[in-house]
Amino acid sequence: MFRGLRHRGRTLAIVALALGLAGQAGSAAVAAPKAAIVVDAETGKILYSDQADASRHPASLTKMMTLYMLFTSINSGRMSSRTQIAMSPHCAAQPPTKLGLKPGQTIRARDAILALVTKSANDVACAVGEHISGTESAFAQAMTAKARQLGMTRTVFRNASGLPDPAQVTTARDMAILGKALQDDFPRSFKYFDTKSFRYDGKTYTNHNKLLGRVDGVDGIKTGYTRASGFNLVCSANRGGRELIAVVLGGNTGRARDQRMTELLEEYLPPERKRWRLFRRR
């Protein structure tokens, strides 16, 4: 799970993060007080925890698992970054946010990745699920099975996008596990999460993660929002030799969520490096 730990060794870090969990997800979460966790990505040590095991709705954080499944298909050779993914009527009918592709149109896998990372496109997430598993419901079952393998014992997925479903639940701890799994299992693909903007079909879409480029060291990964979930954010940050995965769920506003995340990162990261300007004497 952590840099330098692979295969069986890596699972020890997952266990460290997942220790103390009991029971399985199933009850619907309610939108409600914030939940948060900060994890040292190297050691798995929990640096901060507030309702980290409380059931919450993931909203578009769900797309982190959709991307995990897509990266897996590409790495295994079943797909490539140039694979064309078709848009079905079902997926085209998903509500915004979306790219607005018509039924029968296709999108390259690479563009699909960027659309999920930046625009958080619901139609594209659905199409990815159908391409990989045949139906979105089958894909959601595969997502949940993968979550269990990763140690996410309190997460259930019901669709590929995170659109509202009372049975689609997670926890801050489980989202931290998923964020670190993406980082460790797909180090090259993880760099997509640092994409600040994406241009497609003549339009430019900016990343919803406003901390990119604003908080020193932040290099991903995903935001989410529904009325039931509140404002969610998973962040990866690397500064001064310390790597963190931090999660905030249930913010009242995007600004409040971002402020809380910034506070947590600044508390547990080394001080920001000062940038000195060199002036030429005349």
Please write the tens of the pLDDT for every residue from 170-182: 999 999 999 999 9
Alpha carbons 97 and 146: distance in angstroms, whole number: 26
Tokens 């998923």 label which residue?
Answer: 178
Binding residues for substrate: 222
Residue 273: is its pLDDT beyond 70? Answer: no
Would the pLDDT of 19 be above 60?
A: no
| Helices and strands per DSSP (H, E), number in the chain | 8, 9
Whole-number average pLDDT of the chain? 89
For residues 159 and 129, give the distance between their C-alpha atoms in angstroms, rounded to a whole number: 8
Distance between CA atoms of residues 4 and 187, nearest Å? 12
DSSP-based three-state secondary structure for 236: strand
Whether 279 maps to a domain, the answer reads: no
Residue 245 lies in a domain: yes
For residue 277, being part of any structural domain is answered with: no
72 found inside a domain: yes
pLDDT at residue 187, rounded to an integer = 96
* Continuous segment of H or E residues that includes residue 92: helix 89-92
- Please say if the pLDDT value at position 126 is more than 60: yes
pLDDT band at 8 (very low <50, low <70, confident <90, very high): very low
**Domain residues for 213?**
7-268
User: What's the rounded Cα separation, in Å, for the pair 228 and 165?
Assistant: 9
Residue 10 pLDDT = 47
Q: What is the pLDDT of residue 124?
A: 98
In a domain, 276, yes or no: no
| pLDDT of 220 strictly over 60 | yes
Query: What pLDDT is attached to residue 33?
Result: 61
Residues acting as catalytic residues: 60, 63, 120
User: Above 60 in pLDDT, residue 143?
Assistant: yes
Residues at the annotated binding site?
222
Position 213 confidence tier, pLDDT thresholds 50, 70, 90:
very high
pLDDT for the residue numbered 157: 98
Domains in the chain, number? 1
- Asked whether the predicted pLDDT for residue 27 surpasses 80, the reply is no
C-alpha torsion 67→68→73→77, nearest 10: 110
Query: What does the alpha-carbon distance between residue 150 and residue 191 come to, in Å, rounded to a whole number?
Result: 21
Tell me what the mean pLDDT of segment 182-193 comes to.
Answer: 97
207 and 117 in contact (C-beta within 8 Å)? yes
Q: What's the pLDDT at 272?
A: 77
CA distances from 257 to 70, 222, 252, 262 (A): 28, 13, 7, 9
First to last CA, the chain: 53
Is residue 280 situated within a structural domain?
Answer: no
- Read off the pLDDT band of 23 (50, 70, 90): very low
275, part of any domain:
no
Q: Is the dihedral of CA 226, 232, 236, 237 positive or negative?
A: positive
CATH assignment of the domain containing 76: 3.40.710.10
pLDDT tens for 245-264 read 999 999 999 999 999 999 99
Q: Specify the pLDDT at position 17.
A: 55
Backbone angles phi, psi at 251, to 5 degrees: -65, 150
Average pLDDT over residues 2-28: 40
Residue 73 falls within a domain, yes or no? yes
Q: What is the pLDDT of residues 56-94, one digit of tens each?
A: 999 999 999 999 999 999 999 999 999 999 999 999 999
Burial label, 251 (beta-carbon count in 10 A; 0-12, 13-18, 19+): buried
pLDDT of the residue at 87:
98
103-113: per-residue pLDDT in tens? 999 999 999 99
